[in-house]
Amino acid sequence: MVGGVVAAGAALAVGYLVAAVTGGPWPVDAVGVQVIDLSPGPVKDWAVRELGTADRPLLRVGICVVLVVVAAVAGLIASRGGRRIAVGLAAGLGLVGLAFAIISRSAATGLLDRLLPSIATLLTAVISMSLVAQVFKPESPQPHKPWQLGREVAGSAGLGEEEPPASENERPVGFDRRRFLVTVSALGVVGAAGWTATRVLPVRAGEALREKFRVPVPGDPASAVPAAAQVDVPGVTRFATPNAKFYRVDTLLEVPRIDPDDWELRIHGMVDKELRLSLKDLVDRRLVERDITLTCVSNEVGGPYVGNARWIGVPVADLLAEVGVRAGADAVKSTSIDGLTIGTPLAALTDGRDAILAVAMNGEPLPFEHGFPVRMVVPGLYGYVSATKWIVDFEVTRFQDFSAYWTDRGWSVEAPIKTASRIDVPKGLSTIKAGPAMAAGVAWAQQRGVDKVEVRVDDGEWQPAVLAAEDTIDTWRQWTFRWNATPGMHRLTVRATDKAGEVQTAAQAAPRPNGSSGLHDVVFTAEEI
Ligand SMILES: Nc1nc2c(c(=O)[nH]1)N[C@H]1C(S)=C(S)[C@@H](COP(=O)(O)O)O[C@H]1N2
Ligand SMILES: [Mo]
């Protein structure tokens, strides 16, 4: 079993190294992406809710656990004389990986890059499992040297006495301990070396790719965020979300690392003139800088999948005007490098809002996790219908002519962001000091703007919170609320009203199909200290 596991480890490590070098999918990830694509909605909702961003590592671990168990069984079979079966199992697993690498979404564009990691894994698996299997020789008929007894040959019955000829299966299998140790150590070294190489050597295309791209100076810069947009209450969300803290939602296990020199965007479909843009072509156009708060449709009431950043990009409307949209089109189908599709209403891209193809986030090239080199950002729409990361294809079309990745999985075709508010302080289930107290949080209603936030203490009246300065109608807005906390348990509830006069609904809805609703509340205790 140890031999089988070590053989599998070596194969996976070699595959991982080749994946890092080629940018192709590690077979474990190819299987994982398929699991993601095929998991039923409720399973995925559960994973997003309960596991958050830990879902990806856990999926990888889960797949590896299955592999390790099968590999251990293969090793066991080898030790019982089933050497061919063991090698066959290794080959079978390798072929499964190869098959998934062919069918799964992947950021690898060339066929060879796409297949090489699985081919390397397959070959290493077969070779290492045969090496392990060769450790277990059927008991040789030659007499043993006396000094081997009980040491290097286990299961030998006596001092070279003739054993009764057993059938092939029952024949005890020789176990060459030294050879076993040498084989296992050698494979272990191969595995460890492969794994370590991806960590310490610059094999994985890294920061150098991002550094190739210089953040351009926008012709139309954003105005400074008003200092009063950030309230000064410990524990409240920062107005500008740092890139490293920005929530991340996508469906890949390995983040695409696109070489900006290779990137190209094709704009086509129901247009008068097709356009192909390199990154330089794109940033040579008019650039705007805007603060926009992104929100995920999977965010539960009070949840963390919302963030605010300063983006630089090219207005989508400019590009649409350039290519000339034909009559009858009502949608844009955008595709990311791995083949994931997103459908956006054409109206949201042409109605004057700041829909952009973004190349910078908070003054930096987009982080790989957030779509380097180019992603779409559309204020007022949930990310799954607008915020295509690693975008490479932009097709003007009609909703009736396609269906996008998430809509195929039960989410609405159109999804404007619902007005929402969240209490950051006090934290739920915390203990605060009785007496004059301060609550604070954020509210958002992108495209409409937040007009009012109100807070209710226990079952009391709605009372107005103090709104922090507004940056834009596309950004979230902070609020504070002072009250006198009497000793005991309390509940605070918050609600926002947008500038269209619409009060945030108290009606509870789950994220699926078009965003959660309901009011956020926190329960806590006030104590005299
Ligand atoms: N290529 C790609 N783009 C994507 C997604 C994805 O899975 N793949 N997820 C979308 C969703 S659901 C959201 S909420 C936003 C999240 O963007 P972020 O990860 O930069 O916060 O990206 C959107 N763009
Ligand atoms: Mo999302």
**482: its two tokens:** 């002072």
Q: If pLDDT is split at 50, 70 and 90, which confidence band does 45 have?
A: confident
Distance 414 CA to ligand 2 centre (A): 13
Angle, helices 27-38 vs 2-22, to 10°: value is: 80
Ramachandran quadrant class, 410 (left: phi over 0; alpha: psi -120 to 50; beta: rest)? left
What distance in Å separates the CA atoms of residue 332 and residue 268, rounded to the nearest whole number?
10
Q: If pLDDT is split at 50, 70 and 90, which confidence band does 139 have?
A: low
pLDDT at 198: 87
What distance in Å separates the CA atoms of residue 378 and residue 101, rounded to the nearest whole number?
32
pLDDT at 142: 53
Distance 369 CA to ligand 1 centre (A): 9
pLDDT digits (tens, 9 = 90+) for 467-522: 999 999 999 999 999 999 999 999 999 999 999 999 999 999 999 999 999 999 99
The answer on pLDDT for 81 being more than 90 is no
The answer on pLDDT for 333 being more than 50 is yes
pLDDT digits (tens, 9 = 90+) for 337-371: 999 999 999 999 999 999 999 999 999 999 999 99
Separation of first and last alpha carbons in the chain: 60
**Cβ atoms of residues 478 and 468 within 8 Å:** yes
Least confident span in 52-66, 350-364, 372-386, 460-474: 52-66
**222: its two tokens:** 């954003």
Query: Which residue, judged by its Cα, is nearest atom 18 of ligand 1?
Result: 248
Q: Which ligand 1 atom is nearest residue 307's CA?
A: 21
pLDDT at 325: 98
pLDDT at 54: 79
Q: If pLDDT is split at 50, 70 and 90, which confidence band does 149 have?
A: very low
Mean pLDDT of the chain: 92
The side-by-side arrangement of strands in the sheet containing 275-278 is 275-278, 264-269, 391-397, 331-336, 341-345
- φ, ψ of residue 40 in degrees (nearest 5): -65, 150
Residues 6+ positions from 278 with CB-CB distance below 8 Å: 263, 264
Q: How far is CA 59 from CA 44, 52, 104, 117, 298, in A?
A: 12, 12, 15, 19, 19
Distance 342 CA to ligand 1 centre (A): 9
Bigger pLDDT: 273 or 146?
Answer: 273
Distance 251 CA to ligand 1 centre (A): 8
**230: its two tokens:** 């950030």
Query: Which residue, judged by its Cα, is nearest atom 21 of ligand 1?
Result: 248
Query: Which residue, judged by its Cα, is nearest atom 9 of ligand 1?
Result: 250
Query: Which residue, judged by its Cα, is nearest atom 8 of ligand 1?
Result: 250
Q: What is the dihedral of CA 74, 75, 79, 84, to 10 degrees?
A: 50
Q: Does residue 513 have a cis bond before it (omega within 30 degrees)?
A: yes
Q: If pLDDT is split at 50, 70 and 90, which confidence band does 33 have?
A: very high
pLDDT digits (tens, 9 = 90+) for 195-240: 999 888 876 677 889 999 999 999 999 999 999 999 999 999 999 9
Ligand 1 site residues (CB inside 6 A) read 246-251, 294, 296, 336, 340, 370, 383-384, 387-390
Q: If pLDDT is split at 50, 70 and 90, which confidence band does 294 have?
A: very high
Q: Which ligand 1 atom is nearest residue 295's CA?
A: 14
Share of the chain above pLDDT 90, in %: 83
Identity of residue 510: A
pLDDT at 173: 60
Least distant ligand from the CA of 295? 1
Q: Which ligand 1 atom is nearest residue 296's CA?
A: 14
Task: State mean pLDDT over 134-155.
Answer: 55
Query: Which residue, judged by its Cα, is nearest atom 19 of ligand 1?
Result: 248
Q: Which ligand 1 atom is nearest residue 250's CA?
A: 7
**Cβ atoms of residues 56 and 63 within 8 Å:** no
Place of tokens 């290097």: 152
Least confident span in 145-149, 214-218, 308-312: 145-149
**Cβ atoms of residues 114 and 100 within 8 Å:** no
User: How many of the other CB atoms lie within 10 Å of CB of 49?
Assistant: 14
Domains and CATH numbers, the chain: 2-138+174-206 (no CATH), 227-409 (3.90.420.10), 420-527 (2.60.40.650)
Q: What is the DSSP string of 241-273?
A: PPGGGS----S-SS-----TTT-EEEEEESBSS
**159: its two tokens:** 């001092």
**417: its two tokens:** 């962001």
pLDDT at 174: 72
